[in-house]
């Protein structure tokens, strides 16, 4: 197994007003010799008035300096960050940045997700199941689809769906066999209770994995979907947020939205949906059951990437830095004051990883 050169950084930090307290961090032992090109150890803590990021490590990436932001799709579990680049899928340890494995790909990664059944990648016309421990490919399926990013892929217990230029297509997790084409065009899709909920020209439709439609809402105008929270998904159209009760198959509420929310960046916890416009407008936290705005942060008005939900706060990456806000209030907790070239981002627990030509890990 190849081991990638990385920079380990340790230190201590405090989080006043954050969710929980930052635990003790052991200082890393270093050799007496000065650092050279291969190993460097230093302390790096970025302070703000209310909290701090602790910079953990940095790692060089093979081909992280080319392509578009859409080619840098990533996900993470409790121990590993899986980083998609223009021609590789790279697994790095969240703890210290050590490379676990690298999978070479013919085309850039347009989507990656992980669940209890494994790691699934979507790139160009290929859907692939990967062993998250070894990086070995379990199956690939072309399916005649050119996959998209963002809310264009989802998974249930037994199936995974990819939405792209070939339409919205469903595959069995175990075998990779395609079971249905839900629509013939690229549309946002989410998974819930064994079904897939898809935006279409007339509204919103819930499908079984074999393509059978269970219900359709014709009079709802949505062009994007948030993560599902409970049994509710939030979408939006021109000047509105819409909540849809997936269990009942009906629109639950509608509320006005200030700003431009065409394909906004979204994230969710078990009781809140976070929505950020890609241009003007405030970053909002919504109650998914009622549509009430719990808080709005007008200082965050343009999102380069989707927010990352950590245990200790909501991390908001921009092209050249990262900031964190409190999940309950929207108040800023921390921000990096260094220029960091970011093309993609992921995180788990209290660790966030941003990457471009290099990967950087911070603890919040």
Under 8 Å between Cβ of 199 and 189: yes
Is the CB of residue 300 less than 8 Å from the CB of residue 276?
yes
Contacts of 75 (CB under 8 A, 6+ apart): 81, 82, 112, 113, 114, 119, 346
Residue carrying the six token digits 């431009």: 260
What does the pLDDT look like over 74-112, one tens digit per residue?
A: 999 999 999 998 889 999 999 999 999 999 988 888 889
pLDDT at 146: 65
The DSSP bridge pattern shows strands 6-9 and 41-42 to be: parallel
User: Which strands form 332-335's sheet, in the order they lie side by side?
Assistant: 308-310, 313-318, 321-325, 332-335
DSSP string, 303-330: -SS--EEETTEEEEEETTEEEEE-TTT-
Tokens standing for 246? Answer: 């997936």
User: Taking the CB of residue 308, how many other CB atoms lie within 10 A of it?
Assistant: 24
Indicate if the alpha-carbon torsion angle 311, 313, 314, 316 is positive or negative. negative
pTM for this prediction: 0.83
Instruction: Kindly list the domain boundaries of the chain, sorted by start residue.
Output: 1-110+307-364
By the 8 A CB rule, do 326 and 17 touch? yes
Query: pLDDT at position 268, please?
Result: 94
What letter does residue 147 receive in the DSSP assignment? B
Count Cβ atoms below 10 Å from residue 142 Cβ, excluding itself.
Answer: 12
Identify the CA nearest to 152 among candidates 238, 80, 78, 223.
223
Cα 329 to chain centroid, rounded: 21
What is the spatial distance between Cα 242 and Cα 255, in angstroms, rounded to a whole number? 7
Q: What's residue 221's pLDDT?
A: 80
Half-sphere exposure of residue 271: CA atoms within 13 angstroms, side-chain side: 3
**Edge to edge, what strands does the sheet with 99-104 contain?**
74-76, 80-84, 88-93, 99-104
What does the block give as tokens for 6? 């990385």
- Are 43 and 11 contacting, i.e. CB atoms less than 8 angstroms apart? yes
Whole-angstrom distance, CA of residue 281 vs CA of residue 269:
22
Rounded CA-CA distance 310/362 in Å is 11
SS3 70: helix
Spell out the per-residue pLDDT of the chain, length 364, in tens: 433 333 333 322 222 233 332 233 333 333 333 333 333 333 344 443 345 789 999 999 876 556 667 778 899 999 999 999 888 999 999 999 999 999 998 888 888 999 999 999 887 778 899 999 999 999 998 866 766 655 678 999 999 998 877 788 999 999 999 999 998 888 889 999 999 999 987 789 999 999 999 999 988 888 889 999 999 999 987 678 899 999 999 999 998 776 656 778 899 999 999 988 766 567 889 999 999 999 988 877 666 778 899 999 999 887 678 889 999 999 989 988 777 788 889 999 999 999 988 999 999 9
Look up tokens 């302070």; give the residue: 47
E strands in 23-79: 41-42, 45-47, 52-60, 74-76
Tokens of 137: 């490919």
- Give the strand order in the sheet containing 153-155: 153-155, 159-164, 167-172, 178-183
DSSP structural state of residue 246:
T
How high is the pLDDT of residue 320? 75
Asked if residue 95 lies in contact with residue 79, where contact means CB atoms within 8 angstroms, the answer is yes
Two tokens at 339?
């220029």
Phi-psi map region of 158: left, alpha, beta (phi>0 left; psi -120 to 50 alpha): alpha
């Amino acid at each position: 197994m190849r081991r990638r050169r990385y920079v380990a950084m340790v230190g201590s930090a405090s989080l006043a007003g954050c969710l929980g307290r930052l635990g003790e961090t052991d200082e890393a032992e270093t050799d007496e010799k000065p650092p050279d090109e291969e190993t460097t150890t230093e302390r790096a803590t970025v302070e703000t008035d209310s909290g701090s990021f602790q910079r953990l490590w940095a790692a060089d990436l093979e081909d992280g300096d080319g392509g578009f932001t859409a080619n840098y799709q990533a996900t993470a579990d409790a121990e590993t960050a899986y980083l998609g680049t223009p021609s590789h899928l790279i697994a790095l340890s969240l703890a210290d940045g050590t490379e676990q494995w690298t999978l070479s790909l013919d085309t850039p990664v347009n989507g990656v997700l992980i669940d209890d059944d494994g790691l699934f990648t979507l790139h160009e016309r290929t859907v692939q199941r990967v062993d998250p421990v070894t990086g070995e490919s379990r199956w690939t399926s072309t399916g005649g689809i050119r996959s998209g990013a963002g809310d264009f892929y989802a998974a249930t217990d037994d199936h995974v769906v990819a939405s792209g230029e070939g339409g919205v297509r469903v595959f069995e997790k175990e075998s990779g066999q395609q079971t249905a084409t839900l629509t013939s065009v690229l549309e946002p899709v989410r998974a819930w209770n064994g079904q897939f909920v898809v935006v279409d020209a007339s509204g919103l439709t819930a499908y079984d994995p074999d393509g059978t439609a269970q219900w359709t809402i014709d009079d709802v105008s949505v062009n994007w979907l948030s993560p599902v929270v409970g049994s509710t998904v939030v979408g939006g159209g021109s000047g509105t947020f819409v909540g849809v009760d997936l269990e009942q198959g009906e629109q639950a509420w509608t509320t006005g939205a200030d700003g431009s929310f065409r394909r906004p960046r979204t994230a969710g916890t078990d009781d809140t949906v976070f929505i950020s416009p890609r241009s003007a407008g405030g970053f909002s936290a919504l109650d998914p059951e009622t549509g009430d705005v719990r808080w709005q942060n007008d200082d965050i008005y343009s999102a380069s990437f989707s927010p990352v939900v950590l245990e200790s706060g909501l991390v908001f990456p921009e092209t050249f830095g990262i900031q964190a806000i409190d999940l309950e209030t929207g108040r800023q907790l921390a921000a990096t004051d260094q220029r960091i070239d970011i093309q993609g981002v992921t995180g788990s627990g209290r660790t966030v990883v941003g990457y471009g030509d290099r990967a950087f890990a911070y603890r919040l």
